[in-house]
Structure 1
């Protein structure tokens, strides 16, 4: 049985899932690194390679393997979800964002193998693998991510990216849905 067939009975049941239902579903999947290894590929010059494992109108399940390049601060649009560390250790940095201002770093946390942490709707964070670890993460979001906002702290800008762009500044103009100039925080 393929991984997508394996997760279908659990994920098909979710209908406008609550935060708790989403967490319980991710834990019930009980997916391990050996099951994911055949799906992982090189991230090349990006922070991560991502593979969509399952999607319907309500949710999406992704696996990501990290290159050691830090992703850009970003939110998940109108989605919320859970991130599970399947292998390695993640550094998750959380930001505060006020209307049209630059994100302000609040704190960073190390999330080790087996940990699961929440990504709130419109919450801004960035991730990377801790030095020397081979990071693989599972992500379960509801609804599927649309209108993800990515921040460029060097240029004081943000943009909503197309669905085929990850948490990095878009390389192609077609991936920039809308660019926003931000103000420096007070």
Structure 2
């Protein structure tokens, strides 16, 4: 971790409200690979992933995620946009659109291999998982820091706005459920 501290300080120079290209350039310029953050990775403990915040200021946040074989729930990133880089393994990313009833409908699934990056737009809905038997680790740079994330339960036709310390899964703790909305089937 000490070896990447200098490059993380470069994130201080990102201006407020960075463009899509600014964020992509910043993520690529970090030049972080798996060996740089291995000590930060822990087991996900029956969740889709373990996440570790590596850096945050008012404008951006950088997270690393160590994935289990569980897929996360469809979710957005609130009013944030960002880029995701695959540090190891292979990711399956499914993108959705919202239908008239408010429920997400699957559009397509794309596979992303090691060293590939992909964009997560504001209000875009997606879910991710490690491809079978893949040791998936991803690096995420978002702006602004994620707040007001919506997590969807397609079976229950519900959406939940979750607290900032909750991941992309239906919250276990009541305090993580900021607002729950029943949608029409």
TM-score tier, shorter chain, comes to over 0.9
Residue 52 (structure 1) aligned with residue 53 (structure 2) = yes
User: Are 2:80 and 1:42 equivalent residues in the alignment?
Assistant: no
Q: What per-residue deviation string (whole Å, max 9, x for no partner) do you get for residues 121-153 of structure 1?
A: 000000000001100000000000000000001
Determine if contact 1:86/1:138 at 8 Å carries over to the other structure: yes
Q: How does 1:107-186 map to 2 (within 5 A)?
A: 107-184=108-185
Aligned to 1:88: 89
**Alignment size in residue pairs:** 184
User: 2:4–2:32: 8 Å Cα contact kept in structure 1?
Assistant: no
What TM-score comes out, normalization by structure 2 length?
0.96
Residues 4 and 53 in structure 1, CA contact (< 8 A), matched pair in contact too = no
1:3 touches 1:53 (CA, 8 Å); kept in 2? no
State the partner residue of 2:30.
Answer: 29
Which whole-Å CA distance do the structure 2 matches of 1:158 and 1:9 have between them? Answer: 36
Tell me the distance in 2 between the aligned counterparts of 1:64 and 1:99: 33
Task: Give 1:2 deviation, angstroms.
Answer: 1.7
CA distance in 2, matches of 1:179, 1:76: 16
Query: How far is 1:3 from its partner?
Result: 5.1
Q: Which residue of 2 aligns with 1:69?
A: 70
1:39-90, CA deviations, whole angstroms, 9 ceiling, x for partnerless residues?
A: 0000010000000000000000000010010000000000000000000000
Structure 2 alignment gaps of length 5 or more = none
Give the 4+ runs in structure 1 shifted more than 2 A: 3-9
User: Which 5+ residue runs of structure 1 have no aligned equivalent?
Assistant: none
TM-score by length of 1: 0.96
Q: How far apart, in 2, do the equivalents of 1:11 and 1:158 lie? A: 32
